[in-house]
Amino acid sequence: MAQVGPIPSIDLSMLSQGASATDRLAAELDRACAEFGFFYLVGHGIEAALVASLMQLSREFFARSAEEKLRIHMSKGGRAWRGYFPVGQELTSGIPDRKEGIYFGSELSEEDPRVRNGLPLHGRNQFPELPGFGSAVLSYISALTELGHRLLAVLGRGLGCGANFFAEHYTGDPTILFRIFNYPGFDDAGTHPVQQGSWSVGEHTDYGLLTLLAQDSIGGLQVRNGERWIDVPEVPGSLVCNVGDMLERLTRGRYLSALHRVRNSTERNRLSMALFFDPGFDAEMMPIPDVQPQPGSAHTQVRWDPIDPSAHAVTYGDYLLGKVSKVFPELHDDVLR
C-alpha cells in the first residue's frame, strides 16, 4: 500500500491484474479503512476531462451574483432537497459553515413512484442556467456511482463476505447524494461575513458508506487520526475517499468513520465535489455477519453530533433524515414535515 504522506493510496487498476493482485488490493483497502478511514484512490478510471470540465463550470456558477445563484435556492426544490445554499446556511454542530454549495442527487421524473409518493430527497435536480452544467453533473454522478459499486465489491472481498454482498444487501439501489462546495477565501483584511477565523466546515463525520471527493489545489482538508490532525492535500489525478458512519456501523467498528474538517485560510476560493455513495433508502442497517474489529483497533472518538449510528437498527432513510434535519433545520421544518 503506497503512502502519500501519512494517508494511504489505493490503486484500483490492480483489479485488471488478476485474482492475486485483487486479493492484495482488497487487503490494502481493508487496512486503509480500519487504520485511517481515509485514503487516496488512483487508477479509478474517471476521465480527467470530466472532472476538469465540471470544476470549471462550478467556478463559473459560484462567480455569479447572489441574485442569479438564488434562482435555484434549495427552498425551491421541494421535497427533493436540491439546489443552492449561500454561505452560512448549512450548519455543522449548530455552527454556520463558511461555504456555499449546490445539492444534487439521482435524477428522477415526476412519474417515478418514489416521487409521486413524496419520498424525501427524491426527485429532479435544479441546474444552473449554464450551458453544459446539467449534463456534466449527471455524467459525473453516473461515473462515480459505477466506481462506488466497484469499490464496495473490493471491500466485500476484503471483509470476507464476498464481492456481491453490499449490492445484494445494501446498495442494489443506492442513495446517491452529490454536493459541489465553494469555500470563500478571506479578503485582504482577513475577514469574512460569517465569522473571522471560523472553520470552512467544522469537524464532523459523513453519514453513509463511502464519500468520493475531488478537490482543487487550494488545500485545507484535514483528517483526525489518533491524537493528530493530518493534512489531506490534492494529489493530481486522485480522488479522496473516506468511510462514513454506516460503514463503521455495518463493520461493528472495524472501519473508522474519521473526523475531518476544512479551513480555507487563503485569499482564493476553494472548490470541492463530494459524491456520497450510501445504502438504499429502505435498506435495513444490520451489521455484516461475522465481521469483527481487528484486535486493538477500537475507535473511541467522541462523536460530533448526538445521533449514534450504532444505536439505530433502522432503515438508512430514517437515519439520513435525522441527520439532515440538524444541518438545515429551517428547511427541514418548512419542506419535509
pLDDT digits (tens, 9 = 90+) for 27-61: 999 999 999 999 999 999 999 999 999 999 999 99
Question: Residues 107-126: pLDDT tens digits?
Answer: 999 999 999 998 999 999 99
- Could you report how far apart the first and last alpha carbons of the chain are, in Å? 47
pLDDT value at position 186?
A: 74
Q: Is 135's pLDDT higher than 90?
A: yes
pLDDT band at 173 (very low <50, low <70, confident <90, very high): very high
pLDDT value at position 193?
A: 47
Residue for grid cell 473516506: 242
pLDDT band at 189 (very low <50, low <70, confident <90, very high): very low
| All structural domains of the chain with their residue ranges | 2-12+25-336
Percentage of the chain exceeding pLDDT 90: 70
Q: Is 192's pLDDT higher than 80?
A: no
pLDDT value at position 321?
A: 85
Query: If you average pLDDT over every residue of the chain, what do you get?
Result: 88
pLDDT value at position 171?
A: 97
| Residue 171, CA atoms < 13 Å, CB-side half-sphere | 26
Instruction: Give the pLDDT mean for 88-101.
Output: 82
CA–CA dist 228, 242 (Å, integer):
17
pLDDT value at position 222?
A: 95
Residues sharing a CB contact under 8 Å with residue 105, sequence separation 6 or more, in sequence order: 80, 81, 82, 121, 122, 123, 125, 141, 175, 176, 177, 178
Indicate if the alpha-carbon torsion angle 25, 27, 33, 39 is positive or negative: negative
pLDDT band at 305 (very low <50, low <70, confident <90, very high): low
pLDDT value at position 187?
A: 61
Q: Is 3's pLDDT higher than 80?
A: no
pLDDT value at position 115?
A: 93
Residues sharing a CB contact under 8 Å with residue 182, sequence separation 6 or more, in sequence order: 58, 59, 62, 99, 100, 101, 269, 270, 271
Select the CATH number that applies to the domain covering 2-12+25-336 from these four: 1.10.3300.10, 3.20.20.120, 3.40.630.30, 2.60.120.330: 2.60.120.330
pLDDT band at 250 (very low <50, low <70, confident <90, very high): very high
Alpha-carbon dihedral of residues 139, 143, 149, 154, nearest 10 degrees? Answer: -170
pLDDT value at position 299?
A: 54
Instruction: Give the pLDDT mean for 87-93.
Output: 79
Tell me the pairing of strands 91-92 and 221-225.
Answer: unpaired
pLDDT value at position 172?
A: 95
Helix (H) or strand (E) holding 249: helix 245-250
pLDDT band at 270 (very low <50, low <70, confident <90, very high): very high
pLDDT value at position 307?
A: 53
Contact 288, 165 (CB under 8 A): yes
Q: Is 313's pLDDT higher than 90?
A: no
Lowest-confidence region among 133-147, 231-245, 247-261, 296-310? 296-310
Neighbours of 55 (CB within 10 A): 18
